[in-house]
Structure 1
């Protein structure tokens, strides 16, 4: 059956040319010259796609887009604009437009964009209509250790994964290091229509500008000095499946520009090759940075951000997950038992208390490593307090004594003038960071961007000691 397209353009000649061109390419085309008449046509006919000029006589493309997405969410929308304004384009995509095309119009570009939009909508619609439900235990496989739980946070995370997995939307995963972003990405892939295709993970934090092109796109043998063999890039490896880009905020601005073109056009060309390879890749990116702040600083492209940000999931720190911490701890203990050929049943009440009270700055990754260490040191059937590392066993006492110090410092250094007020702000900043990293002075110095000696001197000045 022919796909049905609605063209909305108040320039009659352009609308007529578009209509003839798309009809020749086997589409069923209907035209409208005003926004209101277009919306009336949509009440009586079902359209697969709408091609809408941004500036109309009675309204604009933004208003039309909002109304279509509210009333006909399964209909794709492409905006045509003669104003090559990247901020406007980004806003339209954020509101739900599949893409935008700038005037003058080129037939190949129009046809290519329409076909991609229809393909994308087809995948989404099939997903929403599918009645096959797979139980999380089978879908998430070995990744439940970072995902499930009984807290509201865990339930919300599962709902988001199940909601977005069956679409082809690009996703941004945010959260601190060690919260399990790659495991969530794998869970999304395993619960998607692409589950039988490759899942390829790439660490952008380790990429240099010289290596990035080869890693992303691949290269042909002899294409540059040292290219002794043909290399398939990560995009090509993930074709048909999911590409996971970790630490996306670390990419240089130049690499981001190259990446944007690939994400937009869904084509890749190996270095040294003239052949373009069509891509069908779902992209999931992860970061522990605030990309919105990076955009303001000028270190991350806003247009690339919105290409990725069709959906976002935030992974909370472990300390915000309540009793889920013990669920994770027991899962990790089961794994450790298998690794060490032991049969440890669980944790003593004192150990459970310490596990729940500790701040876990390294999040789930730190918890996993600690449980493995505790299992290694335990010979009986229960993990006891005597094998706890100092940071856990002393945590309550450490916090209590330092809370007292905080109170004393606040009273001693109450600001009496502008200089004192500045000092007080500095003291509060230092103490806040010390609490955040469980009084690990090396980590605190790194966060505060001062050396350890300076930190010790400042701690001594506020009578916190060494």
Structure 2
């Protein structure tokens, strides 16, 4: 459960926010003074703080500094009156996540809180690992990508394959410049992580890094998210909104899945890049911006240009430097690094110790094509560690069905029965029996085209028994 601290000198606001957020599953505490808030934060870790800008004993700017000294990972959202909006924007630049203008609307608060936690989760727990010894299950030690990042909280997983070395060589080459960068790679290869690394190695690393996923933005929403809007500029614009460009002022703006932006937004974006000014939706005032742009796509933008999906002039604006991230199947030497790093991460999350990865699972990982790349690998490890009892080896039973099937197709069939058999070094009789059941059930399900009623008849068991065995063996048909 996430812990939230509300700081406001109006008791009614404290009470209402506390009740509302508690109903939505948060552990909420309140206080009316800055001094009491700091004492509470020294005694207990809070994941998020909702803080009124004007307090009786301090102001939001000073309190933000104090909070960041106590725990730099705490998310801070400023509650402000309309007259203090400019100050709140400055606080966002200085480390606050966002701000809310009074009057407060419950749905807006809840949406922003969820968004803040989602953003935080994507930023945290980036592990850096380096191999100590070779082998099928190499031991690893945590390290930072570079000594230049020794004061950063972000950590990364990086590889020793030729593709990984070339990737990081290019990152270090382009990072100190102010070039716009296009990052191209399949889904799940870690494009946002590469953008973070470029930012951290750049001269702008003390300024904001703002990421925006353009993949699901409509034309109307994209303009508001990118450039902001004024209060009342359209239906539903109940407050002034600061767009991504203003939030990233002086820093780096990362635009993921850039090719999905509508033609009209591409035109507006081109103007911003040319003139280095933005206008919020509903405003005529031009705001100068100084932002480095990094964009990403899982398809080649040059091909999108040829299909008429992406403007050629905008492509050339972005295309000052291009980085290609190889898929996981092209850098299998790095697989052990990622696996061990993710296992350690999940052990911390679940507060349990996972056992070793079995020989069959290592073989499966090596043969699998990993269409979802690093993201898929991380999810597979999270699932496997959750399903496997503490300190027990991670076996094929804990893997998703598509991985089991893929591996089974690569294993020879026995001459007699035609059953698919996994080679195992495990001498435990119970495990061998479970493995045999798994193979037989998979084969029968395929024969009957996954009709469970027919499968139960062929296996000479009732449907309930079959379902129990499917659940036991983690077969998810």
Q: Which residue of 1 aligns with 2:384?
A: 374
Q: How many angstroms apart in 2 are the aligned matches of 1:399 and 1:164?
A: 42
Structure having the larger proportion of residues in helix: 1
1:138 and 2:138 matched: no
Describe the superposition over 1:54-99 as per-residue Cα deviations: whole angstroms up to 9, x where unpaired: xxxxxxxxxxxxxxxxxxxxxxxxxxxxxxxxxxxxxxxxxxxxxx
Q: Give CA-to-partner distance per residue, 1:316-351, whole Å, 9 cap, x none.
A: 111111120111011000000001111225312222
Q: Distance in 2 between matches of 1:397 and 1:155?
A: 33
Contact 1:139–1:191 (CA under 8 A) maintained in structure 2: no
Where in structure 1 do 4 or more consecutive aligned residues deviate above 3 Å? Answer: 136-143, 399-402
2:199 maps to: 189
Kindly state the Cα deviation for residue 387 of structure 1 after the two structures are TM-superposed: 2.3
What is the alpha-carbon distance in structure 2 between the residues aligned to residue 224 and residue 376 of structure 1? 46
Please tell me whether residue 342 in structure 1 is matched to residue 386 in structure 2.
no
CA contact (8 A) 2:357 2:393 kept: yes
1:325 aligns with 2:325: no
The reply to whether residue 150 of structure 1 matches residue 182 of structure 2 is no
Q: Mark the CA change 1:136 to 1:376 in structure 2 (over 3 Å): closer, same or farther.
A: farther
Q: Deviations over 1:407-458 (max 9, x none)?
A: xxxxxxxxxxxxxxxxxxxxxxxxxxxxxxxxxx9xxxxxxxxxxxxxxxxx
- Matches of 1:384 and 1:140, distance apart in 2: 36
The match for 1:389 is 400
Q: Is the 8 A contact 1:143 1:183 kept in 2?
A: no
Counterparts in 2 of 1:400 and 1:213: CA distance versus 1, 3 Å:
same
Instruction: Structure 1 unaligned segments of length 5 or more: list them.
Output: 1-132, 403-440, 442-466
Matched, 1:255 2:265: yes
Superposed, which structure 2 residues align to 1:293-304 within 5 Å?
293-304=303-314
Q: Secondary structure at the match of 2:215?
A: helix
User: Which whole-Å CA distance do the structure 2 matches of 1:215 and 1:249 have between them?
Assistant: 16
Cα root mean square deviation, aligned: 2.2
State whether structure 2 residue 225 is matched by structure 1 residue 225. Answer: no
Q: Deviations over 1:111-169 (max 9, x none)?
A: xxxxxxxxxxxxxxxxxxxxxx9526637754512xx1110111111111111111111
Q: 1:216: how far off?
A: 1.1
- Equivalent pairs, count: 269
CA contact (8 A) 2:149 2:200 kept: no
Larger radius of gyration: 1
Distance 1:143 1:257, change over 3 A: farther
Residues 211, 225 of structure 1: alpha-carbon distance in 2 compared, 3 angstrom cutoff:
same
> Quick one: structure 1 residues 248 and 401, their matched pair in 2 at CA, closer, same or farther if it must change by over 3 Å?
farther
DSSP-derived class of the 2:156 partner: helix
User: CA shift at 1:173, angstroms?
Assistant: 0.5
**Is the Cα–Cα contact under 8 Å of residues 183 and 325 in structure 2 kept in the other structure?**
yes
* TM-superposition CA deviations, 1:262-288 (whole Å, max 9, x none): 011111111222321111100000001
Change (3 A) 1:384 1:345: same
Give 1:381 deviation, angstroms. Answer: 4.4
**Matching residue of 1:270:** 280
Say which of 234, 256, 259 aligns to 1:246. 256
Instruction: Give distance in 2, aligned partners of 1:296 and 1:209.
Output: 22
1:354 corresponds, among 354, 364, 382, to 364
Equivalent positions of 1:122-133 (< 5 A) are none
Q: Secondary structure at the match of 1:382?
A: coil
For normalisation by structure 2, the TM-score amounts to 0.54
Tell me the CA shift for residue 193 of structure 1. Answer: 1.1
Q: Report the Cα offset of residue 399 of structure 1.
A: 4.2
Residues 326 and 356 in structure 1, CA contact (< 8 A), matched pair in contact too: no
Secondary structure of 1:230 counterpart: coil
Partner of 2:289: 279
Q: Which runs of 5+ in 2 are unaligned?
A: 1-144, 414-448, 450-477
Q: Is the 8 A contact 1:357 1:396 kept in 2?
A: yes
